[in-house]
């Protein structure tokens, strides 16, 4: 919905807003709609207070992937001419953090956790996290986050440039 000139895109895929096929497709469509809507001067992607997104939907592991893949959603984010904000609550992990990284601006609630835990499953971030994260934070921290999978709190993320603002 568009509120006061801002297209609000709310993810709703309980319990952790897993980025499954249906949610990726909806995100792509809503980003395109926001970009084309003259009433929308900007867009914001929002999750729940508990979870912006926990990344890949593990219920779909081992099943054929449907288009769009997350990197295609990220490409649409990159193509946005309007400001795109990630409003992060709870946590943004894996693909959820990659979704936020592809936004122009990131705000997070206090005590939010951000990370790329894929390495703990024996895989690497697959949608630009290895490229986007080092552009925002010191290389040593980016490598640490990618190789340990340990999340960092929003307050530290703000100090390091990953989060633009921590807001209650």
Is 66 in the active site? no
> 107-135: buried (b, 16+ CB within 10 Å) or exposed (e) per residue?
bbeeebbbbbbbbeeeeebbbbbeebbbe
Q: Tell me how far apart the alpha carbons of residues 136 and 158 are, in angstroms, rounded to a whole number.
A: 10
Place of tokens 């592809």: 102
Is 35 in the active site? no
Of residues 29, 35, 60, 118, which has the active-site annotation? Answer: 118
Of residues 29, 98, 144, 155, which has the active-site annotation? Answer: 98
Active site residues: 98, 118
């Amino acid at each position: 919905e568009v509120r006061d000139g801002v297209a609000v895109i709310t993810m709703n895929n309980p319990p952790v807003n897993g980025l499954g096929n249906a949610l990726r497709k909806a995100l792509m469509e809503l980003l395109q709609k926001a970009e084309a809507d003259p009433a929308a001067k900007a867009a914001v992607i929002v999750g729940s207070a508990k979870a912006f997104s926990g990344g890949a939907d593990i219920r779909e592991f081992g099943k054929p992937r449907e288009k769009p893949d997350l990197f295609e959603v990220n490409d649409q984010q990159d193509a946005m001419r309007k400001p795109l904000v990630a409003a992060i609550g709870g946590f943004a992990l894996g693909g959820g953090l990659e979704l936020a990284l592809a936004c122009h601006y990131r705000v997070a609630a206090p005590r939010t956790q951000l990370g790329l835990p894929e390495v703990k499953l024996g895989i690497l971030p697959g949608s630009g996290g290895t490229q986007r994260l080092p552009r925002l934070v010191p290389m040593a921290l980016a490598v640490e986050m990618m190789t340990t999978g340990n999340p960092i709190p929003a307050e530290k993320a703000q100090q390091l440039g990953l989060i633009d603002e921590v807001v209650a």
